[in-house]
Structure 1
Amino acid sequence: MPALFLALAISSEICATISLKYSHGFTRLLPSVIVVIGYVASFALLSQALKHIPVSTAYAIWSGAGTAVVAAIGFAFLGEGVNVWKAFGIALIIAGVVALNLGGAAHS
């Protein structure tokens, strides 16, 4: 169940972040409402996951996965440019999350 809470927290954060772009500085109502609801839901779900997952691991997964997915959405669907350095940065984020998980698994 903690992994489900974390996955839902990540999904909520991704939806909120993408909606933030479409809120145009909170001047559009529907995307602005989605931003607020998405971030509140994300933090509420993350707090539930933290009852069973160490904060270093949960936060790294939450922020890293969110960052990587939002970047990929930006590259694939929002017309944002991608280059070798951006791809390398995303790979480093993923590697960092994997490393924290491997380190946490050894101490569990």
Structure 2
Amino acid sequence: MKLRSWCFLILAILTEVLATSLLKLFEGDTLGYLVVFALIGVSYYFMALSLRSIPVGVAYGMWEVLGVSCIVAIGVFFYGEILSTAQAIGLSLAILGIILVNLGHKEDHA
């Protein structure tokens, strides 16, 4: 069951990243916004499924940090956005933070 929850979390992250990335492409397109809205809904659904065995703090932290990391990478590589030094440091600290949260999480052996 635990592996399934992690797969749901990965799907939640991927659908959120896809939805957010598409916002720039669908700028001003009502049908595009509906696609984004549906993808965000799917993301929350998978997130809810992942919470069956992953603590909410760990799941939400990973969802946010990995999502932001992927969106920043997409912005840089596909949209030509520039990542400042301060942004790179902040992103690195966020990633370090989620690593520490996961390392500090005690597994429930009940």
TM-score computed with the length of structure 1 as normaliser: 0.90
Q: Structure 2: state its 5+ residue gaps.
A: none
Give the structure 1 partner of residue 15 of structure 2.
12
Query: Is 1:37 matched with 2:73?
Result: no
Contact in 2 for aligned 1:5/1:45 (Cα 8 Å): yes
**For residues 30 and 15 of structure 1, what CA distance do their matches in structure 2 show?**
16
TM-score computed with the length of structure 2 as normaliser: 0.89
Counterpart AA for 1:79: G
Compute the displacement of 1:33 (Å). 2.3
State the number of aligned residues: 104
Q: Structure 1: state its 5+ residue gaps.
A: none
Query: Is 1:97 matched with 2:92?
Result: no
Tell me the C-alpha RMSD between the 2 structures.
Answer: 1.1
Contact in 2 for aligned 1:9/1:41 (Cα 8 Å): yes
**Percent sequence identity over matched residues?**
34
Contact in 2 for aligned 1:68/1:93 (Cα 8 Å): no
Compute the displacement of 1:31 (Å). 2.4
The runs of 4+ residues in structure 1 deviating greater than 4 Å are none
**SS state at 1:72 partner:** helix
Compute the displacement of 1:74 (Å). 0.5
Q: Deviations over 1:24-83 (max 9, x none)?
A: 2xx213421221111000000000000110000000000110001101111111111112
Counting only pairs closer than 5 Å after superposition, residues 1-108 of structure 1 correspond to structure 2 as: 1-24=4-27, 27-104=28-105, 107-108=106-107
Contact in 2 for aligned 1:12/1:38 (Cα 8 Å): yes
Compute the displacement of 1:86 (Å). 1.4
Counterpart AA for 1:28: D
**For residues 77 and 22 of structure 1, what CA distance do their matches in structure 2 show?**
11
Contact in 2 for aligned 1:17/1:35 (Cα 8 Å): yes
